[in-house]
């Protein structure tokens, strides 16, 4: 362990041997953590359910940062550790907002950026000190990559037994430990690309890093579950997630088709393997996504398109029959939908209580959410710097997410954490000799 480790003092015992003293007591950790919250100007009494929880975030790119942003929205104090060049996504551009990559802005609200070089003994000591007082530690280094810095789970738990340590990998820590994990690789490896695209075309990637986001959500769920367990038992633990298992879990009915039914799903374009209609259909102008997920909805749809007899047609009277005879049913629906535009049909079908949706671009999606009163965009402002971001996705009846800080500029809080570390070393706390 580094000579600068938290409250690390060398002295001679009565026999003349060198011994080490480390302030690992619960009281020392609480005091040191409180100093961090004070120095970062975190309010002592907030309203978030995670107020007072310190998260040290060694993750980068998307899965880990998305997880820690959700925790920060709920009141946790997140100290984001970056190299001198910063999180990789600071360079994932265009697009930009000013000179900042919007990719980085999307997953780093409410955080404090601290630049540390783990190859520098002094900076490594600060990293170890932070790990020793944190409630949560999040990292997505290659498996084993933090052992040489004594920032792996086993090393951290020796000085911080109640730590909730979250590791994010691409393919787990067993036979896949040597494999690097990127969302696109897992989209291919898990099978998502094989079911995405037109039936006669090539496999296609999804237009967003869906498994990174999903893994970030799973990490947040795991951390919150571990936090509840620690509250009840006092025990810390290691919470591990990986993109591959998040992908297979998230593919839900498609993976279950294979696992339980022995069926290997294939590409069907915009069609659903088990439900029809459940796809975009052309109208007089534009396409509209039309869904009839049960018999009641299909009867309403048939009536709305002026073909009520379809609901009694034995070819279409059950979900299974509609699925088996989708070619014939599609032709009848397309002919009927030619009577109006997609916008007109949206009003007609939603007026009849039916599920349907336009096919918007991203701007159209944000605008639709605004029209529906979902308030999708929040401005985060600090010291005159304001950045719009997409708000926390969950609404609560008695608590409210906070938007105190815009995504941080690189190293914006480095001086504060260095000040904290210097203060720690100048005020040793006596604890039992090991």
Give the residue numbers marked as catalytic. 212
Q: State how far the Cα of 176 lies from the Cα of 214, in Å rounded to an integer.
A: 19
Give the residue from 73, 69, 103, 110 showing the smallest Cα distance to 86: 103
Q: Which long-range contacts (CB under 8 A, 24 or more apart) does 10-17 make?
A: 13/433
Q: What is the largest CA-CA distance in the chain?
A: 98
Which residue blocks in 194-341 are alpha helix, DSSP H? 210-233, 243-250, 252-261, 295-304, 319-324, 326-337
Query: Do 138 and 166 form a contact (C-beta atoms < 8 A)?
Result: yes
d(CA 72, CA 57): 11
Q: Is 374 helix (H, G, I), strand (E, B) or coil?
A: coil
- Rounded Cα distance between 134 and 56, Å, is 6
| Strand extents, DSSP E, 51-110 | 54-58, 77-82, 96-97, 100-101
Contact indicator for 163, 135 with CB cutoff of 8 Å: yes
Q: How far apart are CA 243 and CA 212, in angstroms?
A: 7
């Amino acid at each position: 362990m580094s000579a600068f480790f938290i409250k690390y003092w060398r002295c001679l015992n009565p026999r003349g041997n060198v011994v080490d003293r480390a302030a690992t007591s619960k009281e020392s950790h609480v005091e040191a953590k409180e100093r961090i919250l004070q120095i970062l100007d975190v309010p002592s009494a907030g309203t978030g359910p995670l107020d007072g929880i310190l998260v040290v975030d060694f993750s980068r790119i998307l899965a880990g940062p998305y997880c820690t942003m959700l925790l920060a929205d709920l009141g946790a104090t997140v100290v984001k550790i970056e190299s001198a060049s910063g999180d990789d996504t600071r360079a994932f551009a265009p697009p930009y907002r000013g000179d900042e990559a919007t990719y980085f802005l999307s997953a780093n609200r409410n955080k404090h950026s601290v630049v540390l070089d783990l190859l520098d003994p002094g900076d490594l000591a600060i990293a170890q000190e932070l790990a020793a007082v944190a409630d949560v530690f999040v990292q997505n280094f290659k498996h084993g990559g933090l052992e040489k810095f004594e920032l792996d789970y086993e090393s951290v738990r020796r000085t911080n037994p109640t730590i909730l340590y979250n590791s994010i990998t691409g393919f787990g820590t067993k036979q896949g430990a040597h494999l690097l994990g990127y969302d696109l690789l897992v989209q291919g490896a898990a099978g998502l690309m094989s079911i995405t695209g037109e039936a006669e075309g090539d496999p296609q990637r999804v237009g967003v890093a869906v498994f990174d986001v999903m893994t970030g959500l799973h990490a947040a769920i795991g951390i919150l579950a571990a936090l509840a367990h620690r509250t009840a038992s006092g025990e810390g633990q290691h919470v591990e997630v990986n993109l591959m298992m998040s992908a297979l879990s998230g593919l839900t009915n498609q993976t279950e088709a294979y696992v339980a039914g022995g069926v290997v799903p294939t590409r069907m374009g915009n069609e659903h393997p088990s439900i029809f209609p459940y796809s975009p259909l052309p109208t007089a102008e534009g396409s509209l996504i039309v869904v009839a997920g049960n018999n009641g909805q299909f009867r309403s749809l048939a009536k709305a398109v002026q073909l009520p007899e379809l609901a009694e047609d034995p070819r279409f009277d059950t979900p299974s029959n509609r699925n088996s005879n989708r070619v014939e049913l599609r032709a009848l629906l397309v002919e009927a939908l030619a009577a109006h535009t997609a916008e007109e049909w949206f009003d007609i079908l939603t007026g009849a209580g039916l599920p349907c949706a336009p096919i918007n671009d991203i701007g159209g999606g944000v605008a639709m959410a605004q029209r529906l009163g979902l308030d999708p965009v929040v401005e985060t402002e600090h010291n005159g710097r304001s950045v719009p971001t997409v708000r926390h996705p969950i609404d609560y009846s008695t608590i409210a997410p906070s938007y105190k800080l815009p995504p941080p500029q690189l190293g914006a809080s480095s001086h504060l954490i260095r000040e904290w570390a210097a203060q720690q070393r100048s005020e040793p706390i006596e604890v039992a000799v090991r």
